[in-house]
Structure 1
Amino acid sequence: MPIPAAALGFPGEAGAVEVLDSAAPEPVQDTYKFGFAASTGLFTDVHLIGGLTVRSERPLPLLDLEKTADTSRTYRPGDTVTYTYTATNTTGVPVTDLVIADDLVADVPCESTTLAPAGEPGDRITRTGVYTVTEEDGRHRSVTNTATVTGSNGTIDSATATVTITTEPGGTAPPPDTLTDPGASPLSTDRLTETGTPTAPIAIATALLILGAATVAWARIKHSKAE
C-alpha cells in the first residue's frame, strides 16, 4: 500500500516540515490534491498547495525506441528491408531483460539485455532486423510495421515505433519484340509494318511482280521486232 508523504517549507522555518505521512485510501487514485487546514477563529479554511513537486523514492524505468529503414527507395517482392532499432533508457535506474518485438520481423537479436541508467555508458543499444518483401506486399504498394521494446520482465515498455516503406508488384515485362499471341513465332519488329503485317513477304511478292512484268514487256518488244 502506498504511503504519500509531504513536507512543506514555511517562511522563517529551517528546512521543510513534514505535514503528511499516511497510508493512501483504497482504491488508490491516479491523482491527489494535497492541502492543510488551519483554524481561524470560528472558521476552518482549507488551503490548496500550489507548485507542488512530487517524486517517487523508487522511480520506475522508462524506455524509448527509435526505428528506421531506408524509405527513399521502392521495394519489390524478394527485396530485403533492414530495420534499425535504437532502444534508450531515459531514467536513472537500470533496465533488465530487454526484448525488442516487431510485428513482421520474427527475431530481433538482443545480445545485451541490460541498459545502464540514463546518461551512463551502456544506456542504449542499436540492433537490426531483416524482412523480405512478399508478392502480397508488392500488390499493396506499401508495408507498415510496428515495434516496441520491453524490459524488467515485461513490466515496462516503450511507445510504439512505426515505419512505412513503398513497394511495387514484381514480375518481368515481356520484351518489346515478342508478339502478344503466345502461339505465334517471335518476329523482329523491323520486319513488321505499323499495322503488324510482315514486310518481308510483301517485298518478295512485289519483286516477283516487277520481274514478271519486265519479262512480259521484253517478250512483246522482241516479238514486234521479229515481225
Structure 2
Amino acid sequence: MLQWNLKELREAIRADRSESEAVLDIVHSIDRYIRIFLFHLYGARDALDEVIDPNAADPKEALAIVLGASERQEEYHSAKVASEAHILGAAHSARAMFDVFAFLVNSLVLSGAIPESRCSIQLVVDKLPPSPLKHELEALTESYWFGYVSAFVNVAKHRMLASHSFHVGFDDPYTGIRVGAFEYKGTTYPPYKVREFLEGVLEVKNKIVDCGALLNNQVVRGGV
C-alpha cells in the first residue's frame, strides 16, 4: 500500500493557493475521519470480548445470554449496543471520507469545476482526465466493498438499520455478531460475520491512502 504524506500536501496547499485555509480544512477533515474510523473499527472488533470469550469452546454461556438467562445480561445488552454503534460508525466514516475527498480533488485538480452542492465522488471520477488517480478512483467506485458500504450507509440513513444479531455456533464454530442481509436498488447483500464486515470496510478505508498518495503525486510533483 502507498503512503499518503499529508504534511507534504498541506505545505503545497499553503504555498500555492490563496484560499489555502478552506482547502486545509478539507485535508484536516479527512485526517479526522481516518482517526474516527480506526476508533470505531477497534471498538466493533472488541465490543463483546469482555462479556463473551470469542475463543471459548463451550457455547453454554453464549446460549444463556441469547436466551436471557445469564447473570451478565445487562453487560451483554450494553456491549451489543456498543458493537452496533461502532459498526455503524466504521461504515459511515469509511464512506464519508470519500465524499470529503471528492471536495479535495474538485478543488485541487478540477479547480472547483463541480458546484459544491453537486460534488460527489462519482462526479469527480467522471470529470477527471485520464490519470493514475482517476484509474484508482474508478477501481474503488466499481469495487464490491465500496458498493456494499455505500448501500449499507444509504439503507441505514434512509430506510432501516441492517439486522445486528448475536449468533451461537453449532453447525459452525463461529460465536459472535452477524450483520444481516439487506437489499438496496435491486441488489441483495448477504449477511456477514462482524470480522468479515470489518475487513471489507477496512479495505475501503485503506483506499483513501492509495488515492491520497496519487493526489500528492499529481498536485505536489506534477505527475499525471
So what's the TM-score if we normalise by structure 2?
0.21
More strand by proportion, 1 or 2?
1
More helix by proportion, 1 or 2?
2
Question: Over alpha carbons, which structure has the higher Rg?
Answer: 1
**More RCO (CA 8 Å, sep 6+):** 2
